[in-house]
C-alpha cells in the first residue's frame, strides 16, 4: 500500500536540492512511499521538482517582511490560507509524515502537520537556523541539523539529530578521477593542468569576480588554469576586465570564462581547488567530494550564517576562509597557491574536507522520517 510523505523546501536551490535528495532516498529505502511536494508557483521548486519526477501541489505562501511595511498586513490571511490548503492536501493524499527544509513555503505545511498530528521532521542546512525553522522546530518531533554546534540554537536541543546536509545524486555519486578528463574536455580545459574553479552563485559575486581577475598577474610559478563562472549578472563586466588583465599579464594562467555552469558535477570533476561562497549546499557538495576550498562568506547573509558555515569547515582543516573585507588579488593567491602547488597541503586539506562531509545525509533524514511514521499509531 502506497504511503505519502509530504515534502516542502522551496524558494532557493539550497532548500530544493536537499529536499529532492531526501525524496529520492525515501523511495529507495521504501518503494511503497511516495514523496509529494508542496510549493509556490513562482519559485524555483515549480521547475526543479517536476523535473525531478515528483508531484507538486501549489499553495499560497508569502515571506514575512523583516521590516515593518504594508506587506505585513497580508501575512496573517496568507498564512491561514496556506495552512488550510496544506491540511486539505494532507487529507487528500492520506499523508503519514511531513519533512520540511525551511524557507517560507515550509511554514504552512509545518503548521498543518501539527494540527493533523502527523510526524514532523524539520531539516536545517545552515549553522544558524532561519526564522521558519527556529519556530517550526518547537513543534517538530525531530530537528535534523547539518552542523553539530547548531543544536544550541534551538529551544529543544534534545530533539536535534545531526544528519548532515543531503546532496543531489549527480554530485554524491561522482567519481572525480574517472570523470576528470571528460569534464576538462567539456570545458575546453588543458587535461593536465591543475584547475581552479571559481563561482559565486547563479548571479555571480562581484567581490569574488574582482579578486580573481586582480590575482591574474600574481600567480608566479604556480601551475594552474582557471574555470571562472562569473554569473549571469556579472559576465559582461568580467569579460571586459579579463580582456584587460590578459593584455596586462599575457603570461598569466589560462582562463575559461563562462556565465553559468549547468552541470556542477562536471565542474567539480574538472577542479582541484574551489573558490566560492559558503552556502550550506556548496559546503555539503565540496565535502562529500573532498575538494579543498577557499570560502568567501556572503557578508549580507541572514545572521551571518555563511561565516558560521565556513568557520566550521575551516576549524576542521578542510578549507581556508577569507572575508569580503580581506578579499583581494594578493590575499586570494596567498590562500590558493599552497593548495595548488604543494601536494601535501592539498592532500591534507582534501582528507579533512572529506572527513567533514556526510554522504549519508539523505539516508539519515529519510530513515528518521520513516521511523517516526512507523512509530505513530
For the entire predicted model, the pTM comes to: 0.91
Question: Is pLDDT above 90 for 278?
Answer: yes
> What is the model's pLDDT at position 348?
98
Is residue 73 scored above 60 in pLDDT? no
Assigned C-alpha cell, 283: 559546503
Check pLDDT > 90 for residue 37: yes
pLDDT at 12: 80
Q: Is the dihedral of CA 263, 269, 273, 279 positive or negative?
A: positive
- pLDDT at position 377 is 67
pLDDT at 67: 64
Residue 199 pLDDT more than 90? yes
Host H or E run for residue 274: strand 273-276
Average pLDDT over residues 309-328: 96
Per DSSP, what are the bridge partners of residue 227?
197, 256
127 vs 44 pLDDT, higher one: 127
Query: For position 354, what pLDDT does the model report?
Result: 98
At 277 the pLDDT is 96
Comparing 3-167+359-375 with 170-356, is the CATH topology the same? yes
Residue 68 has pLDDT above 70, yes or no: no
Q: pLDDT at residue 80 above 60?
A: yes
Query: For residue 210, how far is the Cα from the chain centroid?
Result: 23
Alpha-carbon gap, residue 346 to 354, rounded angstroms = 12
| Band of residue 70 on the pLDDT scale cut at 50, 70, 90 | low
Cα–Cα distance between 60 and 42 in angstroms, integer?
10
pLDDT band at 61 (very low <50, low <70, confident <90, very high): confident
Confidence band of 60 (pLDDT split at 50, 70, 90) = confident
Domain-by-domain residue ranges, the chain? 3-167+359-375, 170-356
Distances (CA, A) of 262 to 103, 112, 209, 308: 24, 36, 19, 28
Just give the CATH number of 3-167+359-375: 3.40.50.2000
* Angstrom distance (rounded) from CA 172 to CA 363: 12
pLDDT at 104: 84
Q: Classify residue 293 by its DSSP letter.
A: E
CATH number of 170-356: 3.40.50.2000
Handedness of CA 144, 163, 38, 117 (dihedral sign): negative
Weakest mean pLDDT among 14-18, 189-193, 219-223: 14-18
Average pLDDT over residues 266-281: 97
Q: Mean per-residue pLDDT for 199-210?
A: 84
Q: What is the rounded average pLDDT for all residues in the chain? A: 93
pLDDT at 174: 97
Whether residue 72 is predicted with pLDDT greater than 70 in this model: the reply is: no
pLDDT digits (tens, 9 = 90+) for 302-317: 889 999 999 999 999 9
pLDDT digits (tens, 9 = 90+) for 93-124: 999 999 999 988 899 999 999 999 999 999 99
Mind giving me the DSSP string for 103-172?
STTHHHHHHHHHHHT--EEEEE-SSS--HHHHHHTTT-SEEEESSGGGGGGSS-GGGEEE------HHHH
- Lowest-pLDDT range, 5-14, 52-61, 131-140, 222-231? 5-14
Amino acid at each position: 500500500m502506497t504511503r505519502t510523505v509530504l515534502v516542502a523546501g522551496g524558494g532557493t536551490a539550497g532548500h530544493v536540492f536537499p529536499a529532492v535528495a531526501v525524496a529520492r532516498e525515501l523511495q529507495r529505502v521504501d518503494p511503497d512511499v511516495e514523496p509529494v511536494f508542496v510549493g509556490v508557483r513562482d519559485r524555483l521548486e515549480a521547475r526543479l521538482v517536476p523535473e525531478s519526477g515528483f508531484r507538486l501541489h501549489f499553495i499560497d505562501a508569502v515571506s514575512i517582511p523583516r521590516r515593518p511595511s504594508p506587506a505585513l498586513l497580508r501575512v496573517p490571511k496568507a498564512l491561514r490560507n496556506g495552512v488550510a490548503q496544506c491540511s486539505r492536501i494532507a487529507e487528500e493524499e492520506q499523508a503519514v509524515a511531513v519533512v520540511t527544509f525551511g524557507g517560507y513555503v515550509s511554514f504552512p505545511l509545518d503548521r498543518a502537520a501539527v494540527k493533523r498530528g502527523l510526524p514532523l521532521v524539520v531539516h536545517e542546512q545552515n549553522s544558524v537556523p532561519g526564522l521558519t525553522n527556529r519556530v517550526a522546530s518547537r513543534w517538530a518531533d525531530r530537528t535534523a541539523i547539518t552542523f553539530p554546534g547548531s543544536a544550541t540554537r534551538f529551544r529543544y536541543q534534545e530533539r536535534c539529530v545531526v544528519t548532515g546536509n543531503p546532496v543531489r545524486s549527480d554530485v554524491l555519486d561522482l567519481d572525480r578521477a574517472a570523470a576528470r578528463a571528460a569534464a576538462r574536455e567539456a570545458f575546453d580545459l588543458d587535461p593536465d593542468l591543475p584547475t581552479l574553479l571559481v563561482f559565486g552563485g547563479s548571479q555571480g559575486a562581484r567581490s569574488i569576480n574582482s579578486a580573481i581577475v586582480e590575482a591574474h598577474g600574481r600567480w608566479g610559478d604556480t601551475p594552474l588554469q582557471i574555470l571562472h563562472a562569473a554569473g549571469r549578472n556579472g559576465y559582461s563586466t568580467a569579460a571586459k576586465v579579463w580582456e584587460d588583465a590578459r593584455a596586462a599579464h599575457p603570461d598569466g594562467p589560462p582562463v575559461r570564462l563562462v556565465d553559468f555552469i549547468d552541470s556542477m558535477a562536471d565542474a567539480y570533476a574538472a577542479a582541484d581547488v574551489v573558490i566560492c561562497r559558503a552556502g550550506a549546499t556548496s559546503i555539503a557538495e565540496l565535502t562529500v567530494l573532498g575538494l579543498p576550498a577557499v570560502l568567501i562568506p556572503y557578508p549580507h547573509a541572514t545572521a551571518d550564517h555563511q561565516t558560521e558555515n565556513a568557520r566550521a569547515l575551516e576549524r576542521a582543516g578542510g578549507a581556508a576562509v577569507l572575508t569580503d573585507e580581506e578579499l583581494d588579488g594578493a590575499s586570494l593567491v596567498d590562500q590558493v597557491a599552497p593548495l595548488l602547488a604543494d601536494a601535501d597541503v592539498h592532500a591534507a586539506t582534501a582528507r579533512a574536507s572529506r572527513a567533514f562531509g556526510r554522504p549519508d545525509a539523505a539516508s539519515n533524514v529519510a530513515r528518521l522520517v520513516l521511523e517516526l511514521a512507523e512509530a505513530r499509531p
